[in-house]
Structure 1
Amino acid sequence: MAYHEVSIRPMSPTDFLLMTKWLQDEEVLQYYGNPDDPYSYERILEKYSPRLNGEEDVPPFIVERDTDPIGFMQSYPVKKEDAKAWGLPENKTYIGIDQFIGEPRLWGKGIGTQMVKRFVVDVMIHKNPDGIVLDPEVHNMRAIRCYEKCGFKKVCKIEDGSKWLLAYWRSTQ
């Protein structure tokens, strides 16, 4: 099996068409977004332009395999009230992350594990949180397995039991 380098770079405005393609893909929308509400180019601009401009503290990134864009990642500070609602220790800081591979033909090949591990290291180094959290749909077993391989642990079900809250801790809790 050939080795492919996975890298993560900041999103740029030239990625908006690609994001539109990915967020209109029915397979991708089964796990990220809503299949009944695909994203238009205008909606992508509205959502991601403020993030690129630094108006929102949710920096977006594009994942590349070799030099081909294949996915998306973002991080954001978790609000204290959300952490409390989820039963997380209140005296800690948390960064939430979201991600997807936008090319379904690449699912199930270990690429998600590579990109999440790389992003976790980057977030820990640059943001220095006590923990990183993510919240896959409970039926997204492929993603949950990926996150557990990366060191995330199930904390509890959230959003009326439709999602798992998983956490990666800087140190043992």
Structure 2
Amino acid sequence: MKINLFKLFKKENSLQEIYPMSSFDILLEPKNSYPFFASLKNNNVQAYSARFMVKYEDVIKIENLIELFFLKKITQKKECVSFNGKALHYFRFEEFNQTVIDITTNNIDLIKMLFDERLTPPGPDAVFPNSDFESLGSLQGSMEYWWNVYWSPFWKVQSEQEKKIYFLRNNISNDLRDFMILHS
């Protein structure tokens, strides 16, 4: 007798049950919204998902917003919560010695509040504190990965004026500023 192990261990897509069509709302994102929430509708999951790096102090803001909308305090690095027909998968982990948040939810009001928080990921100098940005020509390896996955989604939605303000507010050196402009 043959046993198909793939079928034995294959799970149905439980996300389709957690995020049903009946609780899906269209998210009309502002033009310059960050973090970027991608629709999972093409995967038959009626929710949005985002992965973004945050400064340590922003973790509390995010978790407080989740508690506000789902009436449950986040106490673990990985949680699934639901309230009033809306659901959220939350995962917090460390990468590049920084905090990364992964959220999947169908609660567009929470997403809009996250946009309103104007979250900013840690800059290149915080993630790569020992780098000589003046001597770096091209993005490679871990810096390229970090730039494409975590920094670029934030940086691309900033206007030229917002970028200038970022440089001033964060006391960015000329070498780092030139590096950031070069790779924009």
TM-score range, shorter chain: under 0.3
- Larger strand share, 1 or 2: 1
Question: Relative contact order (alpha carbons < 8 A, sep ≥ 6): 1 or 2 greater?
Answer: 2
Larger helix share, 1 or 2: 2
Q: Which protein is bigger by CA-based radius of gyration?
A: 2
TM-score (ref. length: structure 2): 0.27
